[in-house]
C-alpha cells in the first residue's frame, strides 16, 4: 500500500522528538533531516520538500512551541497541518450547476484508468449525491474503450451514449449532450480518448470538444504509479485545457505516493477523487485531512464509518448485536459477522483506518487470516440449521460429514468450534457487564488464559 514506508519513517522521526522533555534546535534539525529524507524517498518533488521543511522549521522553533508542555506533540501537529496544506485545506467537490446540465470532461493519458474512473465517478454521483448521470463514450480511437464503458455502465445502472467508432469524437460529444437534454439527465460525463504520450492531435481533439460542450469540470486522470511524472503530465494538460481537478488512480498499487503530495503545490490543481482498488466502489471523494491522518498513521475513522454505512447490512448487524448483548450467540451469528467483515473489503485495509492499528495490520498475515475465515465460513455453511443453532449435538459422524462438505479435515472443524466457544464465552461476559453497568475488562477478554492463542499462530483467527 502507498505511504507505508513514509508513515513508518515519519513515526520513527516523531518518536525521537516526542520522547524528549525539551525541544532544542539540534533535536529539531535531526527530526527534520529524517522527515526530509522520508519525503524524498517517497518521490515527493525536491522543491516541495524544501519549502515544506522550511515552513515546519519556522513554525516549530517559535517561542510558543518551544515553551509548551508537550513540544513534541506540537511539532507533530505542525507537520500534520503542513501536509494538509500541501494536499488542500478542504475537499474540492464537483461544481454542480443549480439549473441545467453539469458537464464533466474526463481527460488523461492512455493506461491511467480514465474510462474506469469515469464509471466510478458516475457511481459516486448516483449512490452518494443523488444525481442522474449519463456517460458519453467519446474515445473512438479504442473500440475496446466503448465496450468497457458500456459494461461498467450496465453494472451500476448508468446509461452509456455511443455512436460507435465510425463517428468522430466531437460529433459524439455534441449529440450525447443533446440526448441528455432530451432525456432529463442532470450530469454528463464525457470519456475522451487518451494517448501513450501528449501530442498535438490529442490536444486538438480535446480542445475542440471543450469548445463545443463548455464543460463545467475538466478532470485529469493520473496514475499514482508514475511518481513525480504526475506533476509533468498535470502541468501539460493544465496549460492547454485549464484542468479543474485530478482523479488519482491506482493508489492501492506499489506506489510511493509522493506525487499526490507534489501535484497540488506545483500545479494548484486539486485532487478531487482518489481510487484505492479495482472494484467499482473503490473510488471516493478526496479528503485532504483524512489523507494526512493516514500518512501520519493516525487512522481514518470517518472513512471507516462511511464504508460501514454503505457496505454493511446494518439491519442484520443490529439484530445480531442485540442477540449477542442478550447473551445469545450461535454459529449463525458468527457466520453473519464473517459476512459483514467481507463486505467491508480487505481486513488489513480496514484495520489501517482504525487509529493505532496500522502497525498491527502491517504485521498481520492478511492472506492467511482471510483464508482461515473462508474455511470457517465453509464449515458453518456445511452444517444444518439445527447444528448451527445447537453445536452441542455434533458428534463424530456429523463432524465427518461437515468436514467433507467444507473440504477440510475434522481437526479444522474442532478448531472452529473451539473458537466459537471462546467467542460465545466472551459475548456472555460482555453482556453480563453491560447489564451490570460495568465496563468490560478488555485485558481479560483479550489476553486471559481462556482466550490464549486466539488471533495468533497457525490456529489464530
pLDDT of the residue at 139:
92
DSSP string, 184-239: T-SEEEEE----SS--HHHHHHHHHHHHHH--SEEEEEEEGGGTTHHHHHHHHHHH
The pLDDT-based confidence of 455 (bands split at 50, 70, 90) is: very low
Q: Which of residues 50 and 17 earns the better pLDDT score? A: 50
Closest CA to 45 of 268, 234, 263: 263
Helix H segments across 353-409? 358-363, 366-381, 385-389, 396-406
Average pLDDT over residues 2-16: 72
Please calculate the CA angle 103-109-112 and round it to the nearest 5 degrees.
90
Is residue 378's pLDDT more than 80? Answer: yes
Helix H segments across 88-199? 114-129, 143-156, 169-182
Q: Give tens-digit pLDDT for 62-101.
A: 655 555 556 667 777 888 888 888 888 777 889 999 899 9
Q: CA–CA distance from 34 to each of 31, 56, 117, 282, 299 (Å)?
A: 5, 13, 36, 33, 22
The pLDDT-based confidence of 350 (bands split at 50, 70, 90) is: low
Q: Give tens-digit pLDDT for 232-260.
A: 888 889 988 999 999 988 776 555 667 77
Please name the residues in contact with 148: beta carbons below 8 A apart, sequence gap of 6 or more: 115, 116
The pLDDT-based confidence of 396 (bands split at 50, 70, 90) is: very high
Q: Which of residues 195 and 132 earns the better pLDDT score? A: 132
Question: Bridge-partner residues for 219, per DSSP?
Answer: 106, 245
pLDDT of the residue at 223:
83
Question: Bridge-partner residues for 249, per DSSP?
Answer: 223
Four-residue CA torsion sign, 427, 433, 437, 439: negative
Residue 383 corresponds to which cell in the numbers above? Answer: 452444517
Q: Which of residues 63 and 449 earns the better pLDDT score? A: 63
Q: Give tens-digit pLDDT for 122-150.
A: 999 999 899 999 999 999 988 899 999 99
The pLDDT-based confidence of 269 (bands split at 50, 70, 90) is: confident
Q: Which of residues 22 and 282 earns the better pLDDT score? A: 282
Q: What's the predicted TM-score (pTM) here?
A: 0.64
Q: By mean pLDDT, which of 110-119, 224-233, 301-310 is the weakest? A: 301-310
Q: Which of residues 446 and 51 earns the better pLDDT score? A: 51
Average pLDDT over residues 104-128: 93
Residue 237 corresponds to which cell in the numbers above? Answer: 494538460
Please calculate the CA angle 17-23-29 and round it to the nearest 5 degrees.
65
Is residue 362's pLDDT more than 70? Answer: no
Please name the residues in contact with 203: beta carbons below 8 A apart, sequence gap of 6 or more: 240, 241
Average pLDDT over residues 40-58: 87
Distance CA(14)–CA(102), nearest Å, equals 45
The pLDDT-based confidence of 314 (bands split at 50, 70, 90) is: low
Closest CA to 369 of 391, 388, 343, 341: 341
**Do the beta carbons of residue 371 and residue 358 sit within 8 Å?**
no
Q: CA–CA distance from 120 to each of 31, 48, 222, 275, 276 (Å)?
A: 40, 31, 15, 9, 11
Question: Bridge-partner residues for 133, per DSSP?
Answer: 187
Give the torsion through C-alpha atoms of 356, 359, 360, 365, to 10 deg: 150
Average pLDDT over residues 169-186: 96
In three-state secondary structure terms, 168 is coil
Residue 9 corresponds to which cell in the numbers above? Answer: 519513517
Residue 322 corresponds to which cell in the numbers above? Answer: 442485540
Amino acid at each position: 500500500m502507498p505511504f507505508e514506508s513514509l508513515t513508518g519513517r515519519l513515526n520513527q522521526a516523531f518518536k525521537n522528538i516526542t520522547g524528549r522533555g525539551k525541544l532544542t534546535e539540534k533535536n529539531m534539525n535531526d527530526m527534520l533531516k529524517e522527515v526530509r529524507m522520508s519525503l524524498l524517498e517517497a518521490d515527493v518533488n525536491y522543491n516541495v520538500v524544501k519549502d515544506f521543511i522550511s515552513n515546519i522549521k519556522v513554525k516549530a522553533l517559535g517561542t510558543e512551541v518551544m515553551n509548551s508542555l508537550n513540544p513534541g506533540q506540537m511539532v507533530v501537529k505542525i507537520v500534520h497541518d503542513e501536509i494538509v496544506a500541501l494536499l488542500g485545506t478542504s475537499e474540492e467537490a464537483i461544481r454542480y450547476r443549480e439549473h441545467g446540465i453539469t458537464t464533466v470532461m474526463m481527460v488523461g493519458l492512455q493506461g491511467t484508468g480514465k474510462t474506469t474512473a469515469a464509471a466510478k465517478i458516475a457511481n459516486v454521483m448516483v449512490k452518494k449525491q443523488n444525481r442522474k448521470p449519463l456517460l458519453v463514450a467519446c474515445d473512438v480511437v479504442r473500440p475496446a474503450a466503448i465496450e468497457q464503458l458500456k459494461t461498467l455502465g450496465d453494472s451500476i445502472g448508468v446509461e452509456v451514449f455511443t455512436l460507435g467508432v465510425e463517428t468522430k469524437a466531437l460529433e459524439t460529444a455534441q449529440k450525447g449532450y443533446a440526448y441528455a437534454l432530451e432525456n432529463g439527465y442532470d450530469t454528463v460525463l464525457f470519456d475522451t480518448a487518451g494517448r501513450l504520450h501528449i501530442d498535438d492531435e490529442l490536444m486538438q481533439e480535446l480542445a475542440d470538444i471543450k469548445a463545443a460542450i463548455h464543460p463545467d469540470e475538466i478532470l485529469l486522470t493520473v496514475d499514482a504509479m508514475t511518481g513525480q511524472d504526475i506533476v509533468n503530465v498535470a502541468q501539460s494538460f493544465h496549460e492547454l485545457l485549464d484542468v479543474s481537478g485530478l482523479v488519482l488512480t491506482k493508489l492501492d498499487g506499489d506506489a510511493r505516493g509522493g506525487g499526490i503530495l507534489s501535484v497540488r503545490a506545483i500545479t494548484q490543481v486539486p485532487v478531487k477523487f482518489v481510487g484505492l482498488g479495482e472494484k467499482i466502489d473503490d473510488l471516493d471523494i478526496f479528503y485532504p485531512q483524512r489523507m494526512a491522518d493516514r500518512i501520519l498513521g493516525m487512522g481514518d475513522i470517518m472513512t471507516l464509518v462511511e464504508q460501514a454505512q454503505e457496505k454493511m447490512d446494518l439491519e442484520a448487524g443490529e439484530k445480531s448485536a442485540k442477540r449477542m448483548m442478550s447473551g445469545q450467540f450461535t454459529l449463525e451469528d458468527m457466520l453473519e459477522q464473517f459476512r459483514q467483515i467481507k463486505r467491508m473489503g480487505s481486513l488489513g485495509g480496514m484495520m489501517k483506518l482504525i487509529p493505532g492499528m496500522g502497525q498491527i495490520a502491517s504485521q498481520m498475515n492478511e492472506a492467511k487470516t482471510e483464508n482461515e475465515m473462508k474455511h470457517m465460513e465453509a464449515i458453518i455453511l456445511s452444517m444444518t440449521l439445527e447444528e448451527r443453532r445447537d453445536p452441542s449435538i455434533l458428534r463424530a459422524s456429523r463432524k465427518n460429514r461437515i468436514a467433507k462438505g467444507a473440504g477440510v479435515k475434522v481437526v479444522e472443524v474442532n478448531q472452529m468450534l473451539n473458537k466459537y466457544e471462546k467467542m460465545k464465552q466472551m459475548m456472555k461476559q460482555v453482556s453480563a457487564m453491560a447489564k451490570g453497568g460495568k465496563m468490560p475488562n478488555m485485558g481479560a477478554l483479550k489476553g486471559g488464559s481462556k482466550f490464549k492463542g486466539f488471533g495468533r499462530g497457525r490456529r489464530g483467527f
